[in-house]
Amino acid sequence: MQPRAIDDLSLIISSLNEGEEIHETLKSVFASFAIPAETIVVDDGSDDGSCAALEGDDWRRRGVTVHKNARSGIAAARNLGVRLARGARLIFLDAHCRLQPDCLAELDATQRRRPNAILAPAICDFGSTVYGCGARLIDAQLRVRWLQPATQNGVLQQVPIAPGGCIALSRSTFHSLNGFGSFRELGQEDVDFSLRAWRAAVDVLAVPSAKLQHRFRPYPAYQLSSTSRSYNVARIALVHFDGARREQCLRTLMGTARAAEVLVDAISSDWEAERNTIEALSLRNIESFFDRFGDWN
């Protein structure tokens, strides 16, 4: 049976030195019952040749295009992918995943039911059968805990955080939230995006029927700066939080690598302009997020 092409769907993958993983991820995409009209791979500074191997005719015939980019981090790479994409609907996918054959079809069907929502599929680690579907913040370090997939009479459940391994939404919703924020390298862009969604009254919904495997790794396939995560946490604290919550979040950075430098960088960045922009779009305040989904205390 030939897979069904989803004419208005753009799949966006950021890849950096993923080796064979990016190829295996794409093989699982094109072994699906439904496939995207186009697949944009943003090569975020790879030097292992893995993305160059995707520029052959076979992948082009499947609608795969590769766009080289100076290394800028996953948030910026995904924003670039959207600028290049033609589809009215978007799926962001990590470059080390294996989709179940009906994953994209399930996300497609749910997107058509809830076109203004952000969708989070069910994800498990390679070799595991235990799935998580959405996540919640558990502490002031902005760490998350995966939530168990749940359904209630076919009603889609709202979740606090759509983990970044795979996120589906419309282009219009993406632009209404001003895309991914200005984050360094890897991490926290999904937390920020989900907080923006809450504040703009955009639902983040779990889709447990859409399943994929994700290779969770203690370290990525490339070197990370020792300060990037701390900077990203500081930026979220400054952009989204106030008072004691902001102070708790920033205090977690004490004792981390080059903490004083990180705080100076974050405070001297454009966080205030970003905060004002989000405030202008907000229909709900940030404390209502914690009232709804539980505090980290």
Among residues 187, 112, 108, 117, which one has the least CA distance to residue 158? 117
Taking each helix axis from N to C end, the angle separating 243-251 and 228-240, rounded to the nearest 10 degrees, works out to 170
Among residues 137, 282, 169, 187, the alpha carbon closest in space to that of 179 is found at 169
Strand partners, 14: 42
Domains and CATH numbers, the chain: 4-214 (3.90.550.10)
Per-residue pLDDT of the chain (297 residues; tens, 9 = 90+): 688 999 999 999 999 999 999 999 999 999 999 999 999 999 999 999 999 989 889 999 999 999 999 999 999 999 999 999 999 999 999 999 999 999 999 999 999 999 999 999 999 999 999 999 999 999 999 999 999 987 666 788 999 999 999 999 999 999 999 999 999 988 899 999 999 999 999 999 999 999 999 999 888 878 888 899 999 999 999 999 999 999 999 999 998 999 999 999 999 999 999 999 999 999 999 999 999 999 997
pLDDT tens across 110-119, in order? Answer: 999 999 999 9
- Distance of alpha carbon 204 from alpha carbon 185, whole angstroms: 24
What was the pLDDT predicted at 151?
66
How many Å apart are CA 170 and CA 147, to the nearest integer?
24
Give the Cα separation of 238 and 274 in Å (integer).
10
- Whole-Å CA distances, 97 to 94, 103, 212, 234, 276: 6, 12, 7, 29, 36
Q: 17-52, pLDDT tens digit by residue? A: 999 999 999 999 999 999 999 999 999 999 999 999
